[in-house]
Amino acid sequence: MEPQTLFDKIWQSHVVKEEPGCPAVLYVDLHLIHEVTSPQAFSDLRRRGLRVRRPDRTFATMDHSVQTNPTGAAREDAAATQQLRALSENCGKAGISLFEPGSEHHGIVHVIGPELGLTRPGATIVCGDSHTSTHGAFGALAFGIGTSEVAHVLATQCLLQRKPRTMDVRFTGKLRPWVSAKDMCLALTAKIGTGGATGHVIEYRGEAVDQLSVESRMTLCNMSIEAGARAGMVAPDEKCVDWLKGRPYSPRGLAWTDARKRWLALRSDRGANFDSHVRIDGSDIDAMITWGTTPAMAVAVGKPTPRPDDFATESERAAAAKALAYMGLKPGEPLTGRRISTVFIGSCTNGRIEDLRAAASLLRGRSVAPHVRMLVVPGSQQVLRQAEAEGLDGVFKAAGAQWRKPGCSMCIAMNGDQIAEGEYAVSTSNRNFEGRQGKGGRTFLASPLTATAAAITGRLTHPRELMQEVPCVLNA
């Protein structure tokens, strides 16, 4: 038999049917939904008199527009309230499990899926959210869909899909202590561009990926979409499978033993053919930061902003000039030392316990600069509890940071957590598009370590400068 990629195997085992000239009917094992991209899909079903076919394979959470302020004084606005109520009613009628704010398993959809053991190796997972690729860290085929497709999956548990191409992204070597998965994402996107992986499913491989923790692999897969990829995945290894053991929805007993064996066998065959290849030396990656308005506009911390003239094509020169103007930066200007006023730690990219530990490791015994507002927003209730059990909340509060409740918060700025026009923020989220974190706001994307270093000094700072006596928490 011809050697197959991990993606090929999952794809093939989920194709229900493929007629000539038609896309494949692809079976969906797990459908995750949230308040923003589902209401119109439920309306479609009502209009056509259709029912949710597999409520047992559908799980819902409220994350995009929920309040994260722990004082409870702030409320969602009328529109958000209506949207949240719609999700609640839709789930109630269809018998779909919904994890509401404040409940034990509430959180950002891509944080709670793995945490609950809903995410499984070899599964197909979709959600009306482009960062669904996160779940690929477990060797699942997971990708974002639009609302019409949410309706398709609700009604049929299937999707019509053309088979994507495959891309082998290999990170060789050993990462430096201050370099995290976030820096790998930014390095990759900077190298291949925001459309570099369009039409492809990425499989991340190589020594640097093997050494990453499971949570770091989630970060890595999360930002696959920022390079245009349909999905990103890492083959499951013992570390990955053990991470899932004992989770609320993970198989138990004999079923676990059987699943474990099956999952560990899931990998690309030797000699499997990929449509394209990218190779990056992990030991060459430094802490990264964005300077512009796409995640591909990123450089190593310490490097200056580029000069538009340095780019090869007219459209790239125009894009660079436009981005620098939006960011209020000059060509060739040093980025380190630039004063910032907000730091956001959180999101489906960097809102897991490992990220909070990294931030706390720099912050312990230090303070957030007086002019900086620092928000630490755990990705889920479980992350919040774990952080509090470890005393991390105390570290954040003592340093002057705000310790929030779970939600997407300032990553998408739908709940009022936002930055002001012209304001500079260092954010551990995934997008620095114009206005993403508030109209006119200026975002520098970075890792939790780099963002925390900026919070402490009040300026863009290389995290290495603050790490001398800090034990490394990453890449252990």
Partner 1 sequence: MRFERITSTLIVLPIDNIDTDQIIPARFLKTTSREGLGEKLFHDWRYSKDGKAHSEFALSIARPGSRILLAGSNFGCGSSREHAPWALYDFGIRAVIAPSFADIFRANAAKNGILTVEVTREFAAFLLESQMRALGLEVTIDLQAQALSAGGITIEFPFDAFSRQCLLHGRDELDYLLSQMTEVEAYENAHAGS
Interface residues with partner 1 (CB under 8 A) are: 16-17, 21-23, 25, 27, 29, 36-37, 39-40, 43-44, 48, 50, 64-65, 77, 79-80, 82-83, 86, 128-130, 144-149, 151-152, 155-160, 162, 164, 194-195, 198-199, 225, 228, 230, 294, 315-316, 318-319, 322, 412-414, 431, 433-436, 439-440
Q: How far is the CB of 380 from partner 1 (least distance, A)?
A: 21
Nearer to partner 1 by Cβ, of 34 and 106: the residue is 34
Q: How far is the CB of 120 from partner 1 (least distance, A)?
A: 9
Alpha carbons within 13 angstroms on the beta-carbon side of residue 386 total 16
Nearer to partner 1 by Cβ, of 115 and 149: the residue is 149
Q: How far is the CB of 241 from partner 1 (least distance, A)?
A: 16
Q: How far is the CB of 412 from partner 1 (least distance, A)?
A: 5
Q: What type of residue sits at position 422?
A: G
Q: Report the SS3 class of residue 144.
A: strand
Structural tokens at position 340: 């910032």
Q: How far is the CB of 206 from partner 1 (least distance, A)?
A: 25
Q: How far is the CB of 99 from partner 1 (least distance, A)?
A: 20
**In angstroms, rounded to a whole number, what is the distance separating the alpha carbons of residues 110 and 142?**
10
Task: Please answer whether residues 389 and 381 qualify as being in contact, where contact means their C-beta atoms are separated by less than 8 angstroms.
Answer: no
Nearer to partner 1 by Cβ, of 160 and 472: the residue is 160
Q: How far is the CB of 167 from partner 1 (least distance, A)?
A: 13
Residue 41 to residues 52, 65, 98, 149, Cα–Cα distance (Å): 11, 18, 16, 8
Residue 471 CB: number of other CB atoms within 10 A?
8
**In angstroms, rounded to a whole number, what is the distance separating the alpha carbons of residues 429 and 396?**
18
**In angstroms, rounded to a whole number, what is the distance separating the alpha carbons of residues 173 and 451?**
25
Nearer to partner 1 by Cβ, of 22 and 74: the residue is 22
Nearer to partner 1 by Cβ, of 158 and 392: the residue is 158
Nearer to partner 1 by Cβ, of 197 and 358: the residue is 197
Q: What type of residue sits at position 305?
A: T
Task: Please state the φ and ψ torsions of residue 30, each to the nearest 5 degrees.
Answer: -140, 125
Sign of CA pseudo-dihedral 383, 385, 386, 391: positive
Residue with tokens 């006596």: 469
Nearer to partner 1 by Cβ, of 59 and 178: the residue is 59
Of the candidates 8, 12, 56, the residue with the CA atom closest to the CA atom of residue 30: 56
Burial (CB count within 10 angstroms: exposed 0-12, middle 13-18, buried 19+), residue 370: exposed
SS3 content of the chain, % helix, strand, coil (to 5): 40, 20, 45
Nearer to partner 1 by Cβ, of 282 and 292: the residue is 292
Q: How far is the CB of 366 from partner 1 (least distance, A)?
A: 33
Q: How far is the CB of 174 from partner 1 (least distance, A)?
A: 32
Nearer to partner 1 by Cβ, of 400 and 435: the residue is 435
Beta bridge partners of 304: 334
Nearer to partner 1 by Cβ, of 71 and 315: the residue is 315
Of the candidates 387, 196, 383, 362, the residue with the CA atom closest to the CA atom of residue 295: 196
CA 446 to the chain's CA centroid: 13
Q: How far is the CB of 138 from partner 1 (least distance, A)?
A: 15
Residue with tokens 């959470």: 61
Nearer to partner 1 by Cβ, of 149 and 203: the residue is 149
Nearer to partner 1 by Cβ, of 405 and 436: the residue is 436
Beta bridge partners of 88: none
**In angstroms, rounded to a whole number, what is the distance separating the alpha carbons of residues 139 and 8?**
12
Q: How far is the CB of 199 from partner 1 (least distance, A)?
A: 6
Q: Which residues of 87-110 are buried (b: 16+ CB within 10 A; e: fewer)?
A: beebbeebebebbebeeebbbbbb
Q: How far is the CB of 466 from partner 1 (least distance, A)?
A: 32
Residue with tokens 């202590």: 177
